[in-house]
């Protein structure tokens, strides 16, 4: 069965359910990720599990914070530009994910 993790409705820091806009220093680009619970991910939707290396390094960060993270072979400085609460995107992604797996 599916275990739904109740994501806490807050946007003070990056946690499960957060949608995070991250600036990557090395590539001078911004990316937006939504962080899912264990096993919840859809890379096409930029929906990543909190267990993934990038999510792990972002967890607990606050808006405006910088951190050096290791992505594969690279050390990259990232900045948290924006954090949205779970209601922003997480719940609709979970819905989609569940609908997509119910056709067995």
- Tens-binned pLDDT, residue by residue, of the chain (104 aa): 566 667 889 999 999 999 999 999 999 999 999 999 988 899 899 999 999 989 999 999 999 999 999 888 989 999 999 999 999 999 999 998 888 876 55
The pTM assigned to this predicted structure is: 0.87
Residues facing residue 18 across a β-bridge: none
Give pLDDT, residue 9: 94
> 5-41 burial, b for 16+ CB within 10 Å, e for fewer?
eebeeebebbbbbbbbebbbeeeeeeeebbbbbeebb
Give the Cα separation of 46 and 58 in Å (integer): 14
């Amino acid at each position: 069965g599916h275990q739904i993790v109740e994501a806490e409705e807050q946007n003070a820091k990056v946690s499960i359910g957060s949608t995070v806009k991250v600036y990557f220093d090395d590539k001078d680009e911004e990316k937006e990720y939504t962080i899912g619970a264990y096993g919840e991910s859809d890379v096409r939707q930029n929906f990543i599990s909190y267990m993934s290396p990038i999510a792990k390094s972002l967890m607990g960060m606050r808006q405006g914070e910088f951190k050096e993270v290791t992505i594969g072979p690279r050390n990259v400085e990232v900045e948290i530009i924006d954090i949205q609460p779970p209601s922003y995107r997480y719940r609709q992604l979970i819905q989609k994910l569940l609908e997509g797996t119910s056709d067995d």
